[in-house]
Structure 1
Amino acid sequence: MTDPALVANRYIELWNETDPQRRRALLEQSWSPKASYVDPMAAVDGHEGLEALVAGVQQRFPGFRFRLVGAPDGYADKVRFTWELGPDGAEAPIQGSDVVLLEDGRVRKVIGFLDRVPAQA
């Protein structure tokens, strides 16, 4: 049985982790080595690709954090949720929704949608 809140919270934890060693440990724990990620701005495969993507987003938006918006839901091996990205204590300028497909309880594929992105991002 999939726990959508647990999957979404672990996902957000990965995107917010700035220490490369802890981030790698989170990837190995919760993501398949064959994981893929795609959204309108990026497409990567495997742990190395994911690490580079997360580090790049953190570099592009220093001090921003991901937060869940609303309650994640899902069934079987599928989870969907909405997130926002912005500075603590301020309105987030970026918002998106992701669909996560699991394999043996680990993230195997992410299909991301960007719902709100400012022109300068």
Structure 2
Amino acid sequence: MNLNELADRYVAVWNERDSEKRKRQVAELWIPQGEHYVESRKVVGHDALELRIIESHNEFVRDAGNRFRAVPGARREGNVVAFYWEMLPANADTVLGKGLEFVVVSDAGKIVQDYQFYPA
């Protein structure tokens, strides 16, 4: 598994504008009962993950005109992959925010659990 590719694919789903592509990306990245944790919130399963991503996308990408990108240097320890991501304006490289992701992956490389820390 290429760790930076996993991070790039993870971030791409949060930027995706096309709902069918986003749905496909969620299914490709997470196991069917994949979990996502952010602050005190927990979502489980593809449908809930997709809704969580849509909420974030609408707030930060669609409405605020930003984009997300993965920071190179993803690392793995056992079945946990850690990487940073950044939020930037769509047409600039000024970092507006930064987050840290810890994802537990299956042997097949799909996300089982996803822990998001923002700001990092």
Q: What residue number does 1:75 align with?
A: 77
Tell whether 2:30 aligns with 1:31. Answer: yes
Task: Tell me the CA shift for residue 41 of structure 1.
Answer: 5.8
Deviations 1:22-51 (A, max 9, x none): 011111112101100011163211111111
Q: What amino acid does structure 2 have at the position aligned with 1:59?
A: N
Q: Which runs of 5+ in 1 are unaligned?
A: 117-121
Segments ≥4 residues shifted beyond 3 Å: none
Tell whether 2:101 aligns with 1:98. Answer: yes
Secondary structure of the structure 2 residue equivalent to 1:35: strand
Q: TM-score, normalised by structure 1?
A: 0.85
Q: Contact conserved, 2:4 with 2:72, CA < 8 A, in 1?
A: no
Task: Tell me the CA shift for residue 4 of structure 1.
Answer: 1.1
Distance across 2 between alignment mates of 1:110 and 1:92: 23
Larger % of strand: which? 1
Q: What amino acid does structure 1 have at the position aligned with 2:52?
A: L
Q: Contact conserved, 1:96 with 1:113, CA < 8 A, in 2?
A: yes
Distance across 2 between alignment mates of 1:42 and 1:90: 30
Q: Contact conserved, 1:80 with 1:99, CA < 8 A, in 2?
A: yes
Q: Contact conserved, 2:104 with 2:112, CA < 8 A, in 1?
A: yes
Q: TM-score, normalised by structure 2?
A: 0.86
Secondary structure of the structure 2 residue equivalent to 1:13: helix
How many residues in Structure 1 have an aligned counterpart in Structure 2? 115
Identity of aligned residues (%): 26
Distance across 1 between alignment mates of 2:73 and 2:28: 23
Q: Contact conserved, 2:34 with 2:45, CA < 8 A, in 1?
A: yes
Distance across 2 between alignment mates of 1:91 and 1:84: 10
Q: Which runs of 5+ in 2 are unaligned?
A: none
Alignment equivalent of 1:86, drawn from 80, 85, 88: 88
Of residues 53-62 and 69-78 in structure 1, the stretch that sits farther from structure 2 once superposed is 69-78
